Amino acid sequence: MQKIAIFASGTGTNASKIIEHFASNEEVEIALILSNRPKAYVLKVAENNNIPAKVINRSEFYDSNDIVEELENSEIDFIVLAGFLWLIPSSLINSYPNKIINIHPALLPKYGGKGMYGRFVHEAVFNAKETESGITIHFVNEEYDEGKIVFQAHCLIDPSDGPKEIGKKIQELEHKYYPIIVEKLLRRISIN
């Protein structure tokens, strides 16, 4: 059995897709959902799926070892960031080397870095008149959006697409590929 923790701060549509994907897989359990926002809809997603959830605060996350200890005590093997906006502290990265991944709604290294999330990314892509964009799934390191890239998928942007339409295309790609890539990476870990 491999156990996943999902860190998310928003609506949790990617978290939902991942939960759905593994629902009938007896080898993988979504064992914890962690959020820094008490009102995040992802916590409702956790509740609806009977997944333990935890709301964390800044000092717990950055100034103590509580989260690492909790993850280890819960025997978490792999961490999936799905709309989690806080930088991951080194202690956590060192405890889970190449076992924390993130999804970014653009083709990194373009349109990454602090403050580049959600609609800000789609607006930047739109303002730059890009003719294509996409998603990037990458390992997490101490910098925003700079870890090793695992997977990218592209989509075309029509001249008539505004930031909202771009966001929709990106979300479709995220929902299609994130669960599959998580599964592939878990297989790789279990083989090694």
Catalytic residue (choose from 21, 104, 138, 175): 104
Nearer to ligand GRF, 63 or 109 (CB): 109
Query: How far apart (Å, rounded) are the C-alpha atoms in residues 60 and 92?
Result: 12
Query: How far apart (Å, rounded) are the C-alpha atoms in residues 141 and 29?
Result: 24
Nearer to ligand GRF, 38 or 59 (CB): 38
Q: What is the smallest separation between the CB atom of 78 and ligand GRF, expressed in angstroms?
A: 17
Active site residue 175: no
Nearer to ligand GRF, 2 or 102 (CB): 102
Q: What is the smallest separation between the CB atom of 157 and ligand GRF, expressed in angstroms?
A: 16
Count CA atoms within 13 Å of residue 174 on its CB side.
26
- What distances in angstroms separate CA 151 from CA 67, 148, 159, 177, 185, one per listed residue? 28, 9, 26, 9, 11
Q: Interface residues with ligand GRF (CB under 6 A)?
A: 8, 10-15, 82-83, 103-105, 117, 174
Catalytic residues: 104
